[in-house]
Structure 1
């Protein structure tokens, strides 16, 4: 059985990814700073570290054989929790250190989750991997630096490595402050949902499609069909925040008048359009997103997940 080391398994994407790994009969050693409450993957061997550092990860793994590393952990995902030191160490330095560990363990590949935040302001139609990278915003800059260092290290050591730049991932398990959970919570209660004018265009991708991309990349680096590189994981299609909100209201049979467009001002640094070009990743892996936006929203707000989005009474 293939065994991978996974960081970030308790996060939004990581928790969902564990079920994909379990379905593929892949054994998992999960590293985290707290005990796991999610037991969806019985093949997960979770090991607790006091800090997410290369030394503690190395000690936690010990002599356990590792075939590949999937690094999903990051600092600053919550915009209100962006300590400079954590951003520098976890986003900027840790990825390349994990590549070195993976190589020392004899692993056959390294995958990390990047972000569309790695790109600088872009005024074109679709962002390609060669677009300029962020150099002034700390979160995006540290994510970009970490991805660059990780892949350069992988190249130097001969370890196939991929940085998947995920765009606007949504779905079950999102943090309450994010767009879909905050919208659905208000609409399910019949309350106003304050929004900006909603003209920003984004590339929304369902978490299960992001996880299937992680699975495709894992297979690709391990069997040699995915060259070391940075890859956009997105749909390639733009949807305005306004239309996304209207689709959520439609899925919940809620009155569109509850969507109070214009109540929140646009952030000064908010880009008008952030849509990626997934052509490179598709061509190397054959991956395609399975869910349309309407299908993804409907799945997220289906009966099994509705209590999560309604929030406490």
Structure 2
């Protein structure tokens, strides 16, 4: 595995403000990251710290602490309401970032259903932070979107296709993408959007599909499962982090460019259950459609990635088989971490008895 993430643990709210340590001939890069207590954001923070970048982490009040690195020399943490324009602008002027990575989001998980909070987090916070970034003279503001912005297509959609989002989350993400694209073209400042497909890997939310499959399979059973033909384009977390850093640091022909970040290959639920079973040795029989289909489930879901390959030179490098193996190894290598994940998922209920 390329990196060894730390086990879960609470961060100290008195995290040391990073200074400007000696970095040899390489210029110190100052960046700001939002959503750094989440899966993708925390993984990005770890990569940036490993590169000796100075990271200012903007966190919402009451943020989850278990993914956030503790006592890092080049990491400063700041609790702020991202919709408070004055506070955000003051903070960015003080931190003086070269790049801003905006990963804060709400509504991506099935249990996040508060429409007002979804709109405030995904659209209003994006608007506030993007405008504050312009005033702070950043070189790039990287916005993370979602493949759900396209709606249900019967093909792999390209970035220039009209979006047809369904539901509060997808609609708010599509609106935020449109805002960033328009602001970038007006200002000339790079504000690209990465439309992420199904990201998986270490530090993912325990109740999401891949961790849940592994945790149940290691216990010799499967969780409730939807239609086996449901498809997703699963992309490895470290490949996504590569794309985030590339799009921030590379000149773009279009300052408001949009890039699909996936593998270009779809995998059905049936196929990923089979792979997880082989990885763990689980011989239990899956009970299909013991969980109802979600509104957004479809049998066609994959990224069109030619634009990212052509303009960024980015192609996902990690096969699903390799990524799944590394994920289960990461879970197993630390007992405290594995116990934390197990405690976050209900493994006590009996398996489904029918596949109706």
TM-score relative to the length of structure 1:
0.91
Counterpart position of 1:17: 44
Matching residue of 1:159: 189
- SS across alignment from 1:154: helix
Residues 71-126 of structure 1, C-alpha deviations (whole Å, 9 max, x = no match) = 000121222222222222221232233222111111111101111011122012x1
Question: Do the aligned partners of 1:74 and 1:91 also contact (CA within 8 Å) in 2?
Answer: yes
Write out aligned runs for 1:147-186 (5 A). 147-186=177-216
In structure 1, distance between residues paired with 2:267 and 2:340: 22
Q: Which residue of 2 aligns with 1:128?
A: 158
Structure 1 residue runs without a partner (length 5+): none
- 1-structure distance, mates of 2:30, 2:148: 30
**Cα displacement (A) at 1:263:** 2.0
Q: CA deviation at 1:297?
A: 0.2
Distance in 2 separating the partners of 1:154 and 1:270: 33
**What secondary structure does 1:283 align onto?**
helix
Q: Residue in 2 aligned with 1:108?
A: 139
Equivalent of 2:307 in 280, 298, 304: 280
User: Higher strand proportion, which one?
Assistant: 1
Between 140-149 and 167-176, report the one with greater CA deviation.
Answer: 167-176
**CA offsets, 1:208-258, max 9 Å, x none?**
1111111111111xx456743111000001111110111111111211x34
Secondary structure of the corresponding residue to residue 173 of structure 1: coil
1:80 aligns with 2:111: yes
Q: Deviations over 1:38-97 (max 9, x none)?
A: 226542111112565333322333422121111000121222222222222221232233
* Contact map agreement 2:36 2:59 (CA 8 A) in 1: yes
For 1:167-219, what per-residue CA distance to the aligned partner results, in whole angstroms no more than 9, with x for missing partners?
00111111122111111111111134321231012110011111111111111
**Which of 1 and 2 has greater Rg?**
2
2:77 to 30, 46, 54: 46
CA separation of 1:227/1:58 partners in 2, compared to 1, >3 Å: closer, same or farther?
Answer: closer
- Mapped to 1, the partners of 2:127 and 2:159 lie a distance apart of 20
TM-score (ref. length: structure 2): 0.81
Q: Secondary structure at the match of 1:69?
A: strand
Residues 1:243 and 2:274 are matched in the alignment: no
Structure 1 residue 26: Cα displacement? 1.5
Give the number of equivalent residue pairs. Answer: 309
The answer for the alignment partner of 1:299 in structure 2 is 326
